[in-house]
Amino acid sequence: MSPYPDSTPPSLAQRARRRVALKKGFFIHLLVFVLVNAGLFVLWQGAEWGLGDGAGWGRHHRVGGFLPLWGWGLGLTIHGILVLLRLQGEGLTQRMVEREIETLKRREGGDAR
């Protein structure tokens, strides 16, 4: 049984495009994360510097200003790990199938292990 649904492995160009798309998706996510959180930091600092009335952004919200950073940072970390695993695991299914085929051939051939 082939690990590919249509029984034809993807071409090198298709695999390369998929890998580039995974990397681009992560880097876009990272860029948006940095820009949005930098903007939130500037807003938070603006309230600290007295540039606004501080309603919702004052001293009593010192920790609250960083909650989006921590939650989104966790999501970004998970995204990065998944991309890394997908890039590193490419071909893993194929290698496992090939090993199983070799094991079955040895067993059927009379090689007892």
DSSP assignment of the chain, as one string? --SSTTSSPPPHHHHHHHHHHHHHHHHHHHHHHHHHHHHHHHHHHHHHTTSS--TTTSGGGTTGGGHHHHHHHHHHHHHHHHHHHHHHTTTHHHHHHHHHHHHHHHHHTT---
The per-residue pLDDT of the chain, averaged, comes to 79
The interaxial angle of helices 67-88 and 12-48, nearest 10 deg, is 170
Residue 39 pLDDT = 87
pLDDT in tens, 11-38: 888 888 998 999 999 999 999 999 998 8
- Report the range of poorest mean pLDDT among 43-47, 69-73, 95-99: 43-47
Tell me the mean pLDDT in the region 70-74: 90
Residue type, 66: F
Reading the block at residue 20, the tokens are: 């580039």
Cβ neighbours of residue 41 under 8 Å, at least 6 residues apart? 65
Is pLDDT at 98 greater than 80 in this prediction?
Answer: yes
